[in-house]
Amino acid sequence: MVATFARIGCLSFGGPAGQIALMHRIVVDEKRWLDEKRYLDALNFCMLLPGPEAQQLATFCGWHLHRTAGALAAGLLFVLPGALLMLALAWAYAAFGRLAAVEALFYGVKAGVLAIVVEALIRVGRRALKAPPAWAIAAAAFAVLFLTAIPYPAVVVAAGLAGAAFLRGRQGPATRIEPGPIDWARAVRRTILVAAIGALAWGGPVLLAGLALGPDHVLVVVAGFFSKLAVVTFGGAYAVLAYMADAAVTSHGWLTPGEMLDGLGLAETTPGPLILVTQFVGFLAGWRHPAPFDAVSTGLLSAAMTTWVTFTPSILWILLGAPLVERIGRVPALSAALAGITAAVVGVILKLSLWFAFHILFREVTQIRHGWLALDLPVPLSLDPVAAVLALVAAYVLFRRHWSVAGTVGLTAALGFAARMAGVA
């Protein structure tokens, strides 16, 4: 399991849609560690939590296999490769400026990830949309998320209610198995113990930094800001990026708008959750406010603190809630509600697929905002022909030649790098 999640951590490009697709391919289809229903139940549960849902899903998979030790290993390994790479890139960026070679390398990665996201859409759609009401819920979720600015949690609640109303009895016999009795005393003791240890792990480094350096030191300010962000990031990283960017640039002055966009670009093209852009922000904050250390040391400490307070809560939520997932799928009403949310997830992946395609295949995307309408559309004349060709190559080798994820991404990365270095992209 450790080796597998280390590999997943190194290959988890493409934001939540690509990462969820990658884990599904490896954990469900290849390893068969989870069946389809349990994987989707866990995904539905993670979509309801604040924080990066893909990392939480990885943590749940580890918990399912080896309980607490597995959860910690899978959750940390999912983040660690991307965090180490982002840390190196943030240091190089602060020291040397823009990284043309890195941008060229990851130019082709995006095209490969686009094919993986489409594959996830097809796989999840085939399994989740088994009844007309499920198709209707998926279509409605896509329309709402694609055309309006209605927040994702509201869509989730509506999908759950629709599923409970229209999908009960349509999920197969597994949903009608009654769960056994709950040992409430033991459950309460476990919850209190896990919450206490998790809170100590989460807040301990922040408290130590405050005692050693004072409440106004950059390490403490960074920890407080990103801890708050970790508990309000419902709906994924995109839901809070605007708020985080405004606060980091305008309120705290840690970096410039251009640097924020560069950090987001690096996060989008490196493995790991998109929210790793917080580590880039944390490093630059420490780099520019180094006292009483040097710039590199404070940058490293600030990046480590940012990553710790961002991802520790996500692991804690799973350790607290994972036992519930095991039971929810066996209660008919809750199972039907989760089936509705699963259908909505298909709409979410479709929306993310289009968003991803717009930003990969086109150089310009225009925003339309009028009343309740909130729509992003590509500018047709800004089509990037090289990116389009790379996406078609990725789709061919993935769907027709059945290449692995690593092989597909490696091929498009090499082709994209060559195209950028040759000046044709």
Mean pLDDT for all residues in the chain:
84
Q: Is the pLDDT reported for residue 32 higher than 90?
A: yes
Task: Tell whether 254 is covered by a domain.
Answer: yes
Q: Is the pLDDT reported for residue 23 higher than 50?
A: yes
Task: Tell whether 268 is covered by a domain.
Answer: yes
pLDDT tens per residue across span 333-382:
777 887 888 788 788 778 878 877 888 899 888 888 887 888 889 999 99
Task: Tell whether 394 is covered by a domain.
Answer: no
User: Rounded to 5 degrees, what are φ and ψ at 373?
Assistant: -80, 130
Task: Tell whether 226 is covered by a domain.
Answer: yes
Distance of alpha carbon 211 from alpha carbon 198, whole angstroms: 20
Q: Is the pLDDT reported for residue 384 higher than 90?
A: yes
Cα 211 off chain centre by: 33
Distance of alpha carbon 302 from alpha carbon 216, whole angstroms: 13
Task: Tell whether 79 is covered by a domain.
Answer: no
Task: Tell whether 177 is covered by a domain.
Answer: no
pLDDT tens per residue across span 168-215:
766 554 444 445 566 767 878 988 999 999 999 999 999 999 999 999
Residue 402 neighbours by CB under 8 Å, 6+ apart: none
On the CB side of 5, CA atoms within 13 Å amount to: 25
CA 120 → CA 66, 187, 313, 322, distances in Å?
26, 35, 27, 24
On the CB side of 282, CA atoms within 13 Å amount to: 30
Task: Tell whether 204 is covered by a domain.
Answer: yes
207 is in which domain, residue-wise?
A: 186-325
* 202, 313 Cβ separation under 8 angstroms: yes
Q: What is the pLDDT of residue 176?
A: 42
Paired with 383 in beta bridges are 362
Task: Tell whether 196 is covered by a domain.
Answer: yes
Query: In 10 A of CB 167, how many CB atoms?
Result: 23
pTM: 0.71
Distance of alpha carbon 373 from alpha carbon 416, whole angstroms: 35
Distance of alpha carbon 76 from alpha carbon 201, whole angstroms: 14
* 91, 284 Cβ separation under 8 angstroms: no
3-state secondary structure (DSSP) of residue 171 = coil
CA 2 → CA 68, 69, 81, distances in Å?
13, 10, 13
Q: Looking at residues 146-154, what average pLDDT do you find?
A: 79
Q: How many domains does the chain have?
A: 1
Distance of alpha carbon 64 from alpha carbon 232, whole angstroms: 26
Q: Looking at residues 261-266, what average pLDDT do you find?
A: 72
